[in-house]
Structure 1
Amino acid sequence: MTETWAPTRALSRSVLLTGLLMLLGVILGRVDLVLLAAPFAIGAAWHLSRRPRAMPEVAITADESHLVEGGEVAAGLTVSNTDLIPYDLVVVRTRTSRWLRLEHADRPFALTVPSDGWAAIDLPGEALRWGRQDVGPAAARAAACGGLLACRPVVTPARGVRVYPTTEPFRATEAMPAAAGLVGAHRSRRLGEGGELAGVRQFAPGDRLRRIDWRVSLRTRDLHVASTLSDRDAEVLLLLDVLGEVGLSGGVRGGSSVLDTTVRAAAAVAEHYLHRGDRVSLLEYGATARRLRAASGRRQYLTVLEWLLDVHADPVDERYEPALGAHHISTSALVVVLTPLLDPRAADMLAQLTQAGRYVVAVDTLPPDEAPPVRNQWTPLATRLWRIERENVLGRLREHGVPVVAWAGAGSLDQVLRDVARMAAAPRGR
């Protein structure tokens, strides 16, 4: 008997019964008791002569494709037997993340595995929430030799499944406050090659002949060319406030917590601007201050989705200030701050960025009926006073020039982007 296989209670009962009958037969001189014990001894000896040496192997399979919240998950378990002796029974059980609703994943499976063969268990289901969800770990225990031997539990580590957030409908038709790249889809205030007419001026060395305005030239008897505004790309910085989590997440079909709204809104805004050719970067306002460098294209969009999977509440002690200053942010970037505005440090950060000349838009991610987390339940009067105080904070931010808007999907930022672009185009005094 190998160390990996141990006797079961069935073997103990068989040995005890055989020994008892043999002992009574010898003491009482009864041959029938000896003959009655013979089948138990012969059966146990025959089964133990064909005992396996290899333990079962358990593998977890999971869908590696682009899985989004609400999508179907194709998971499963595979139990393999590399020995020449078949397993009489294999009991397999697995644990899964509560955000993966797999069929019958909460109960054990019993199956037989032939020699040098395998058996598979399908676990179809649905992904309920974004993040890195786990299928497993899974444990299996096999019985052989007619149930006389059982192996120790074989545990397989969990298999990760990446569930990307759903991209909520979003569009922003307003121009960017500052377009600083070389090429792109946004109209800038600089002259150059583009489709937006800036005016007509006299011909100068270096102007292209196709830019000549012949109507004005014939009328003035001097060559004139049409000047245009260059089309440039812009940088969008998504600043995620992760100082705390409020609300209970109900998955894709339930209620949304602050982090749910933050992650889904960030994915929607990033997809919109990356599709238009802009550069998008991400930054966390928390203890670790994770950052994703600005880039454009589909590869950046997939990187953004991968980066958002690791977003979690990252609080900072009240005595310390998260390491974020205006010098960390480009002067031409549009800063979209996704914050529930529960921590006073978030409001101070918004005011400081605005005073430093950054183009800031605050998106309120607090659910309408939520209150800050406290140990004891708040009375209705206390909750009402807290909401009044929060409205005062929002009013002070607007007085400092910080536009604040609640996230509402498509067109959420159109009005505030219009205001920010108007302020950016206004002349500034020295």
Structure 2
Amino acid sequence: MTGPEPLLRRAVPPAASAEAGNGPAWAPTRALGRAVLLTGLLLVLGVALGRVDLVLLAAPFAIGTAIHLRRMPRAAPELAIGADEELVVEGGQVQASVTVTNPDVIPYDLVVVRTRTSRWLKLEHTDRPFALTVAADGWAAVDLSGDALRWGRQDVGPAAARVAACGGLLACRPVVTPAHGVRVYPVTDPFNAIEAMPAAAGLVGAHRSRRMGEGGELAGVRPFAPGDRLRRIDWRVSLRTRDLHVASTLSDRDAEVVLLLDVLGEVGLSGGVGGSASVLDTTVRAAAAIAEHYLQRGDRVSLLEFGASARRLRPATGRRQYLIALEWLLDVRADPMEHEHDFGAHHVSSDALVMVFTPLIDPRSADMLALLAQAGRYVVAVDTLPAGSVPEARGPWTPLATRLWQIERGNVLGRLREHGIPVVDWAGAGSLDLVLRDVARLASAPRGR
């Protein structure tokens, strides 16, 4: 059930990095050894046997070797990986390249470049070595453009290069450059919630609160009191009652939305953009869409992980918070907890709307939801378990065990709903409207102490 982690294609030998820092930069090749051996053997035989033809036959090898070695390279080649730093979204284009620079006055006869890449980057020239030549004091680049298939921090590289010069008589030790990270942001599913927040606690914003104040929502008409503005006077009621009356309104305030991500485990096989979605895929894409929606409306959004590390992003608003949230989501990984974790509801504001993205496959997830509800928080659970997720068949009892697990999970969902915790499947735009309407209606009712 658990999807494989992104792997690197086996293109750069592991020994390359070990050889990179040992020995001289340039070393003789077997071609040079054969040329010296053949020249010496012909000269010795020619002198020993008194045959001039053998000496003349050795002359081209000696002259050719001397000509190629008249100038020898001194500096090692330079290798660098570059990638486009612009915003890259799942399914978008990635522009990357590997550049080989020759700082010496000797041209490179042959350069063989090999690279590793993340399996979620479908780039050119990464499935095989690439050969090229580099002029003296010049450079050459290998284009690695392609598509980004999945969100996350994907690596282009590491890359290794072997260089041959002086007619193939000298070769440079392998030059290895570290990987270059490419940030691939999740594609945001369309989301648009038209329902009001259950509790708006800020000073200004776009949501109607339950407090009287300056706003656009009419709350009623009341007698004029000192401090009321003249423009609030309702002249129709005042003329009818012969006393001044003013129109009272509800203040428009912002709300805090807490996106709580359950990262205790990963379920399902990730197929990248356009393919099947795992639990983390659904979680990250839905969280990005909801954060974008509420931040555009001026609300405050914070993110929190339910896992071993319990990462947290403080609440804030604006476009800057949206970019920070996207960066934060790139580091979402399965983070199981070996021991019980004391998740305190004090981490969540009492007036915040808590959206919990959870597959509900770990009993601790249901306990966390119940703890938030008992603490009086406004909780909405978003079920991120892929449809039809079943464990792999490992024996004749696997189907029966799977059926029992599905029944138990259904009982957990029913108990959560009985305790006032709505659980809905993520379905994009408008999928949470009905739930938010019910939560807002419950929030407007008197709350017991």
Question: How would you bin the TM-score normalised by the shorter chain?
Answer: over 0.9
Q: Does 2:67 align with 1:46?
A: yes
3-state SS in 2 of match to 1:150 = strand
2:349 is equivalent to residue 330 of structure 1 = yes
**CA distance in structure 2 between the aligned counterparts of 1:349 and 1:376, rounded to whole angstroms:** 33
2:120 aligned with 1:120 = no
The secondary structure found in structure 2 opposite 1:120 is strand
Match of 2:55 in 1: 34
The structure 1 segments of at least 4 consecutive aligned residues displaced by more than 4 Å after TM superposition are 372-378
Question: Which of 85, 100, 123 is the aligned partner of 2:121?
Answer: 100
Counterpart selection for 2:434 from 415, 424, 428: 415
C-alpha distance in 1 between matches for 2:99 and 2:397: 51
- TM normalised by structure 1 equals 0.97
Q: Structure 1 residue 374: deviation in Å?
A: 9.0
The 5 Å alignment of 1:273-312 reads 273-312=294-333
User: 2: CA distance between counterparts of 1:136 and 1:27?
Assistant: 56
Q: Which segment is superposed worse, 377-386 or 188-197? A: 377-386
Task: Select between 98-107 and 183-192 the one with higher mean Cα deviation.
Answer: 98-107
Q: For residue 163 of structure 1, what is the aligned residue in structure 2?
A: 184
Per-residue deviation at 1:372? 5.3
Cα distance in 1 between the residues matched to 2:300 and 2:433: 19
Residues 186-265 of structure 1 aligned to structure 2 (within 5 Å): 186-265=207-286
Distance in 1 separating the partners of 2:359 and 2:137: 58
Q: Which secondary structure state, in structure 2, belongs to the residue aligned with residue 247 of structure 1?
A: coil
The equivalent residue for 2:380 is 361
The reply to whether residue 185 of structure 1 matches residue 206 of structure 2 is yes
Deviation at 1:275, TM superposition (A): 0.7
The 1:213/1:257 distance shift into structure 2, 3 A limit, reads: same
Paired AA for residue 436 in structure 2: L
Q: Residues 294, 378 of structure 1: CA spacing in aligned structure 2 closer, same or farther, 3 A cutoff? A: farther
**What is the SS of the residue equivalent to 1:167?**
coil
Work out the CA distance in 2 between the residues paired with 1:179 and 1:226: 21
For residues 379 and 244 of structure 1, what CA distance do their matches in structure 2 show? 20
Answering whether residue 87 of structure 2 is matched by residue 62 of structure 1, we say no
In 2, are the aligned partners of 1:274 and 1:298 still within 8 Å (CA)?
Answer: yes
CA distance in 2, matches of 1:270, 1:155: 40
Q: d(CA) in 1 for partners of 2:431 and 2:24?
A: 65
Of stretches 265-274 and 37-46 in structure 1, the one that deviates more from structure 2 is 37-46
Cα shift at 1:381: 2.5
Which position in structure 1 is the counterpart of 2:7?
A: none
Partner of 2:38: 17
Paired residues of 1:246 and 1:373 also in contact (CA < 8 A): no
Q: Does the C-alpha gap of structure 1 residues 172 and 378 become closer, same or farther in structure 2, counting only changes over 3 Å?
A: farther
Equivalent residues of 1:246, 1:372 under 8 A apart: no
Q: Is the 8 A contact 1:237 1:333 kept in 2?
A: yes
How far the C-alpha of 1:22 sits from its partner, in A, is: 1.3
Residue of structure 1 equivalent to 2:27? 6
The AA in structure 1 aligned to 2:33 is S
- Distance in 2, matches of 1:415 and 1:187, equals 18
SS in structure 1 opposite 2:227?
A: coil
Could you tell me how far apart the structure 1 residues matched to 2:380 and 2:99 are? 51
5+ unaligned residues in a row in structure 2: which ranges?
A: 1-22
Residues 309 and 211 of structure 1, relative CA distance in 2, 3 Å threshold: same
Counterpart residue type for residue 235 of structure 1: E
- Distance in 2, matches of 1:378 and 1:28, equals 85
How many residues align structurally? Answer: 427
Contact 2:393–2:399 (CA under 8 A) maintained in structure 1: no
| 1:252-275, Cα deviation, whole Å (9 max, x unpaired) | 011011000000010011001001
Change (3 A) 1:246 1:377: farther
Q: CA deviation at 1:371?
A: 2.8
Q: Secondary structure at the match of 2:290?
A: helix
Give me the CA root mean square deviation. Answer: 1.3
- Return the offset for 1:16: 1.2
Aligned to 2:195: 174
CA change 1:130–1:91 in 2 (3 A) is: same
Cα distance, 1:382 vs structure 2:
2.2
Change (3 A) 1:125 1:290: same
Question: What's the offset of the Cα at 1:73?
Answer: 0.6
Provide Cα deviations, 1:179-235, integer angstroms capped at 9, x if missing partner. 000000100000000000000000011000000000000001010000000000000
| SS of alignment partner, residue 145 of structure 2 | strand
Contact residue 246 and residue 371 of structure 1 kept, 8 A: no
Query: TM-score with structure 2 length normalisation?
Result: 0.93
1:23 Cα deviation after fit: 1.6
CA distance in 2, matches of 1:104, 1:45: 36
Does the CA contact (< 8 Å) of 1:84 and 1:115 recur in 2?
Answer: yes
> Taking structure 1 as reference, are residues 179 and 372 closer, same or farther at Cα in structure 2, changes over 3 Å only?
farther
Q: CA–CA distance in 1 between the matches of 2:149 and 2:265?
A: 22
> How far apart are the structure 2 equivalents of 1:196 and 1:373?
55
Percent of residue pairs identical: 81
1:155-197 alpha-carbon deviations (Å, 9 max, x no partner): 0111100000000011111111100000001000000000000
Deviations 1:111-168 (A, max 9, x none): 1111111112211100000000011111111111110000001101111000000000
| Match in the other structure for 2:4 | none
Q: Which residue of 2 aligns with 1:347?
A: 366
